[in-house]
């Protein structure tokens, strides 16, 4: 069974982009990333196995290294974004969000939705690069240090990650991060002290569906929204690496999806459930807009959406909430932007 190393309340997570993918860059106090709850760091791979009783022509013991060692890391953060930052750039920085290193290390295509607007779009193909080119199909890597009071410390390099976003009515937008990184022996235990400035986490004051969408504008309330970009992480073994693990691969293994808990669903004005039974792929995008403040919003979008999960007859709770799941479908009419999360503010 893999050992899970849980961080304590006195721990810190520090993340820094790498100038060369897979080459460790030591984070500093300003690279602190605030997490919610308990981060988990799990060593993976069979690791180093010492076989003490194997005789060789030269006698003595034989120490054998089998497989590889890497880190599986997971933690949750609140969503931070500075809507008053500089104009769009394909490489977001700390000016945009304290989470910029994480967002740049996902295989998102980062596109402009306007002068100051950012869209993070799911894409299937990418290259590793320290900076994104004009083609915008790169994925960066980062180094991470996790440290507790008393200088207990773990480090990883060549890290890539995938996020999952969620929001409940009137609450903060949360992000669950799954990370794979290469093992690195700790050589420096000098304690890190957080030094950071960042805006308050985003709180949605309202959630709404686009008027022209699979559910239409008659849906009056959303209790919960979850957006999954559709990515998956896979291990890569590399015999040339000291510990056997290469930089992990990210692939778009499933369609980007939006799950909704819909309250007060109008039975008279909604499209017929026959559309769901016929698996109709809609030609109109599904947009879920989370209003942050006047003229600022976070928008989850699926193009070519299809209802892929719907409640059984009679399924509801005391507030008449029902759970629905839509997926962005790739077909002959699909556009390149299958699913995205966008940050929108006035020009």
List pLDDT tens digits, range 196-220: 776 789 988 877 777 566 665 556 5
Euclidean distance between CA atoms 131 and 19, whole angstroms = 8
Counting every residue written for the chain, the total comes to 347
Q: Is the pLDDT of residue 116 over 50?
A: yes
Q: Buried (b) or exposed (e) across 172-195, using 16+ Cβ within 10 A?
A: bbbbbbbbbbbbbeeeeeeebeee
Q: Identify the weakest region by mean pLDDT among 33-42, 46-55, 95-104, 327-336.
A: 46-55
Q: Is the pLDDT of residue 177 over 70?
A: yes
CA nearest to 19, candidates 91, 70, 67: 91
Q: Which residues contact 103 (CB under 8 A, 6 or more apart)?
A: 92, 97, 110, 120, 163
Band (319; pLDDT cuts 50, 70, 90): very low
Report pLDDT for 79. Answer: 95
Q: What share of the chain is helix, strand, coil (3-state, %, to 5)?
A: 5, 45, 50
Phi, psi (5° rounding) for residue 101? -65, -35
Euclidean distance between CA atoms 183 and 68, whole angstroms = 9
More confident residue, 12 or 198: 12
Q: Is the pLDDT of residue 316 over 70?
A: no
Q: Is the pLDDT of residue 52 over 50?
A: no
More confident residue, 190 or 181: 181
Ranges of beta strands (E only) in 79-230 are: 108-114, 117-122, 127-128, 138-139, 142-148, 153-168, 173-184, 206-209, 221-228
pTM of the model: 0.85
3-state SS assignment for residue 10: coil
The single residue listed with the structure tokens 């060692």 is 69
Question: How many Å is the Cα radius of gyration of the chain?
Answer: 23
Tokens read off for 282: 């809609």
Question: Mean pLDDT score of the chain, rounded to an integer?
Answer: 78
Euclidean distance between CA atoms 304 and 314, whole angstroms = 28
């Amino acid at each position: 069974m893999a050992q899970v190393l849980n961080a304590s309340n006195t721990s810190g997570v520090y993340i820094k982009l790498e100038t060369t993918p897979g080459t460790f860059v030591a984070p500093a106090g300003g690279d602190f990333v605030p997490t919610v709850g308990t981060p988990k760091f799990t060593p993976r791979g069979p690791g180093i196995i010492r076989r003490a009783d194997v005789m060789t022509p030269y006698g003595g013991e034989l120490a054998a290294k089998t497989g590889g060692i890497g880190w599986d890391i997971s933690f949750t953060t609140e969503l931070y974004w500075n809507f008053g930052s500089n104009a769009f750039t394909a490489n977001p920085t700390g000016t945009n969000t304290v989470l910029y290193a994480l967002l740049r290390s996902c295989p998102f295509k980062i596109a402009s939705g306007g002068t100051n607007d950012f869209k993070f779009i799911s894409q299937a193909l990418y290259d590793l690069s320290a900076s994104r080119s004009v083609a915008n199909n790169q994925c960066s890597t980062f180094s991470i240090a996790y440290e507790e009071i008393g200088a207990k410390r773990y480090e990883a390099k060549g890290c890539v990650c995938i996020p999952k976003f969620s929001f409940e009515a009137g609450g903060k937008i949360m992000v669950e991060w799954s990370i794979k990184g290469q093992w690195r022996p700790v050589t420096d235990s000098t304690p890190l002290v957080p030094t950071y400035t960042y805006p308050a986490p985003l709180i949605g004051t309202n959630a709404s569906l686009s008027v022209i969408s699979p559910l239409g504008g008659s849906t009056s309330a959303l209790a919960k929204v979850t957006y999954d970009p559709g990515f998956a992480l896979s291990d890569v073994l590399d015999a040339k690496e000291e510990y056997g693990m290469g930089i992990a691969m990210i692939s778009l293994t499933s369609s980007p999806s939006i799950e909704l808990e819909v309250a007060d669903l109008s039975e008279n004005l909604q499209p017929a459930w026959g559309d769901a039974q016929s698996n109709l792929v809609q030609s109109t995008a599904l947009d879920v807009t989370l209003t942050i403040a006047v003229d600022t919003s976070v928008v989850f979008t699926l193009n070519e959406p299809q209802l892929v999960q719907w409640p059984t007859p009679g399924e509801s709770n005391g507030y008449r909430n029902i759970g629905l799941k839509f997926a962005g479908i790739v077909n002959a009419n699909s556009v390149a932007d299958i699913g995205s999360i966008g940050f929108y503010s006035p020009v």
